[in-house]
Structure 1
C-alpha cells in the first residue's frame, strides 16, 4: 500500500536530522558489533510495520589502514535486482548526508506533512522512487558526512581528490562483498556539488590508474542533476538567470554587465559602480528561494554559498571531452543555485554535435520541460517548474529518469 505524499513542505534539514538520530539509535547495537559488515533493516522509526522494500545499511573501510569508515544505505529495485541497473548516489552540498537523497530526492521514503513538537517524523512511502527501476547505493561521502567517520583526527578535512579516491575504494570493496551485482548495468549519480566529483569518478573507472580493477563491472555512464561544473560559474550565471526570470530589470542587468564586466566573484573593492549595482541585485534576488524560485522562502534556512566549497579538481573541463558513455543532466529550470544555462553552456563547450535538437518533452499532453541530445551519448533535460533537486518535482523527475534508464525516448 503506497501512502500519498502530502503537499505540506517541512524543513528538510530538521526532518533529516531527527530521522538520522532515530535511525542511529535504532541501529546502534548493530553498529557496535562490527565496522566491516552490513545489516538488513526491516523497520524504521516513524513507520508502522515492516518496510515494503529491501534496505541494507553498513560500513566500508577505506584508506591505507581502513581508517575512514564510509556508511551507506542500499535499496534494492522493486523490479528485478538481478538485471535492473545499479546506481551509486553521491549527494552534493558538499557534506550533505546521503539520507537527503534517500528521503527527499530519489529514494523510497518521504515524511508526513505535520510534525508535532518533540515527536519523530512519520515515514511515508514515496510512489515516485527511482528504485522502482533501479537499485541504489546512497553513500555518506566525504568523510564526516552523515554516519561516515574517521578513526583518526576528528578535524580531518576532506577535499575533492580524496573524495574521488574514497569513492573508487568503496566501490571496489562493495562489489567484492556483493558479487551478484557485478553484471548489472552500473551508473554513478548525484546532484549539486557532486557535479565536481561524479564525472571524475566515472573517468577514473574508465581510464584511471586502477581501471583494470573496474574492468569487471558493467559501467554504463552517469547521471547528474543541476550540477556544479566550473568553480564560481554559478555566481555569474545567476545574474543572467535573474534577468531572464524578471527578478531584476533589464537596465540593472546592463549596468551590472558594463560595470562588472560579467565577473561577480571577488569584485574589486575599488569598483564602486559594480558594488553598487551588485548590492541592488542582491536585495532583489535574496527575497526568493534559491533552490526553486517558485517556492516560498524559508527564513530558517541559509541559501548555499559556493564560495565555501571544497578545492576543485581543475582537469574536469579537459578530461570530460573523452567521456562518451551514456549520460544525462537533469536541470530544474527554476533553480537559482545552479542555473540551467550554466550546465547547458558547459555541455556546449565540449563541442559535440547535436543529434536531437532542442524540443519539448511531454507527460501525457503537457510539456514537462525541454531536451537536447549530443553525439557523445549525452542528454540534457530541463524539468519545467523544477528546482535544485528532485525534491521539488518528484513525479516529473522520476518520469525523466525512468524513460532514460530504460532507453525510452523523452
Structure 2
C-alpha cells in the first residue's frame, strides 16, 4: 500500500461497534483535515504554548465530535498537510482523481480492518470539500453497485460552508449577504444588480464592484465579526486593518461556549473571496500571497505541534525529513478543477436515498449562506420541514429547512467559515441529532 495519505493514521480512534462510524474528510487545498483536528472538533483543545512557538497545552474538548462518532481525519489531496508521495507526479491532481484516490484509500483501509466494515459510514468536509465530499460519495456508491469488496456501509454526507461550482456562488451570493448584514448600502447593491450579477469584473461593472471591495476591506471574510490578523512584515500592516472595523460590542454578538478564542488566522480555509471557480488551474495560497490578496495569516499552534518531531513520532507520522514540514498551505501541488457543478451529484445521491446535511455558518463571507440556501432550494425538492429555528442549550442556534429525499439545509447563528470552531456546543448538538436520525 502506497503511503500517499500518511496522515490518515494520525487520528484513527478506537471504534466501538455500536457507535456510528463517521469519516471526516475535512480537506481543502491546504491542511484542513489537520486543522479541523486541532481547531474544530478533535478530542483536544490546543492552548497556545508559552513562550510563543513552544508546544501547545492540550485540554480535553468537551464538544468533540469524537464523543458521538469515530473519525478519520484525512489530509487530501496528496501533498497537503503531512500527506506525501515518493512519486512527485502524485502532486499533479484534480477533483476526479482526488475522489478516486480517496476511494481507493477507503477500500484498502477497510480491507485492513474488516471488523469495522458494517459500521454506518458518513463522509463530511468543509469549504472546498463541497467538491471533495459529493465526488467521493459518488465513487463510493459506484463501488457499492459494482460489488467492490469490501462493501462500504455508506449512509450519507455532511458539508459545511461548502462550494458547489454553480451560478449561485460569487457575486450572486456575496451581494445579498453583504447587503443583508449591513456591510454595503442599498445603492451599492442596486448598482451591481442593475448591471447584472457578474463573475468577472470588467468595464463599467468594475466601478460598482470596486466600491463593494472597498466597503468590505479590513473585515475577516471567514467570520465578519472577527478581527483580522496581519503579519507585521506585510505591506498590509497598517493602523486601519490591524483590528476589526467593528465596534467591540458588535464583535461580541453571537458569543458562545468555547474554551479558547477562535484563532485570528483564517488563511487557507477556502479559496480567496474573488477567485471564482472555473475549469482549469487552482491558484495556490503561496501564489496568492505574493499577489498580496491573503488578508489573515497566523497559524502558530498547529504549526508548533505538528512540526515537533516527538509529536510526529508519537502519532506515527513520518518525520519532516521524509514527509516535509507541516504547513497550512502547500506549494507543491499542481491542482486543477474539473468536476463541474455539484448539483447533479447531490441529486443523484439524495434521490438514491443517501442522507445529506448542508450546513452554513451565517457570518461567513467567503462561502455565504445565501448561495448555499439558493442552490439547495434549486434542486426543486418538496419542502417537508418549512423554515424554522432550531435550538441548542435552550437558545435559538440557527435555522433550517428540510426537503424531500433526506436533504436538510441548516444555518448556525453567529458562526463563521469553520462552524465547530466558532460554535462548538451547537455544532455537536446538530451533528449528534442528525447522526441519530432525530429532529434537529
* Same fold, TM-score > 0.5, yes or no: yes
Shift in Å, 1:242: 0.6
Shift in Å, 1:205: 1.6
Instruction: Tell me which residue corresponds to 1:25.
Output: none
CA contact (8 A) 2:117 2:150 kept: no
**Partner residue of 2:346 out of 300, 305, 320:** 320
CA distance in 1, matches of 2:16, 2:144: 30
Shift in Å, 1:377: 0.5
Instruction: Tell me which residue corresponds to 2:64.
Output: 129
Instruction: Tell me which residue corresponds to 1:177.
Output: 112
1:221 partnered with 2:156: yes
CA contact (8 A) 1:196 1:312 kept: no
Secondary structure of the residue that 2:54 maps to in structure 1? Answer: coil
- Which blocks of at least 5 consecutive residues in structure 2 are unaligned? 232-264, 277-281, 284-335
Question: Aligned ranges for residues 5-404 of structure 1 at < 5 Å?
Answer: 61=1, 66=2, 68-72=4-8, 73-76=10-13, 81-113=16-48, 115-153=50-88, 156-207=91-142, 211-213=146-148, 216-230=151-165, 233-236=168-171, 237-259=173-195, 261-263=196-198, 265-268=199-202, 271=203, 273-300=204-231, 302=267, 304-305=271-272, 306-307=275-276, 308=282, 310-314=336-340, 316-324=342-350, 325-389=354-418, 390-404=420-434
CA distance in 1, matches of 2:144, 2:393: 46
**What per-residue deviation string (whole Å, max 9, x for no partner) do you get for residues 328-387 of structure 1?**
112111111111111111111211111111000112431010011111101111111011
**Mean CA deviation greater in 309-318 or 239-248:** 309-318
**What per-residue deviation string (whole Å, max 9, x for no partner) do you get for residues 222-280 of structure 1?**
01111011257432211221111010001111011123x101x2222xx1x31112111
CA distance in 1, matches of 2:377, 2:149: 29
**What per-residue deviation string (whole Å, max 9, x for no partner) do you get for residues 49-108 of structure 1?**
xxxxxxxxxxxx4xxxx373442133436xx71121112222233222421111112211
CA distance in 1, matches of 2:230, 2:349: 41
**What per-residue deviation string (whole Å, max 9, x for no partner) do you get for residues 145-180 of structure 1?**
111111122783221111101110000000011111
Shift in Å, 1:117: 2.4
CA distance in 2, matches of 1:361, 1:81: 30
CA distance in 1, matches of 2:5, 2:153: 26
Secondary structure of the residue that 2:390 maps to in structure 1? Answer: strand
CA distance in 1, matches of 2:176, 2:424: 27
RMSD: 2.1
CA distance in 2, matches of 1:130, 1:297: 27
- Write 1 or 2 for the structure with the bigger share of strand: 1
Higher relative contact order (CA 8 A, sep 6+): 2
**Mean CA deviation greater in 143-152 or 88-97:** 88-97
CA contact (8 A) 2:140 2:152 kept: no
Instruction: Tell me which residue corresponds to 1:49.
Output: none
CA distance in 1, matches of 2:175, 2:430: 28
CA contact (8 A) 2:107 2:150 kept: no
- Which blocks of at least 5 consecutive residues in structure 1 are unaligned? 1-60
When normalised by structure 2's length, the TM-score is: 0.72
When normalised by structure 1's length, the TM-score is: 0.78
CA contact (8 A) 1:187 1:221 kept: yes
CA distance in 2, matches of 1:197, 1:155: 17
CA contact (8 A) 1:223 1:329 kept: yes
When residues 287 and 384 of structure 1 are mapped into structure 2, their CA distance, relative to the original with a 3 A threshold, is: same
CA distance in 1, matches of 2:222, 2:165: 19
CA contact (8 A) 2:168 2:374 kept: no
Instruction: Tell me which residue corresponds to 1:52.
Output: none
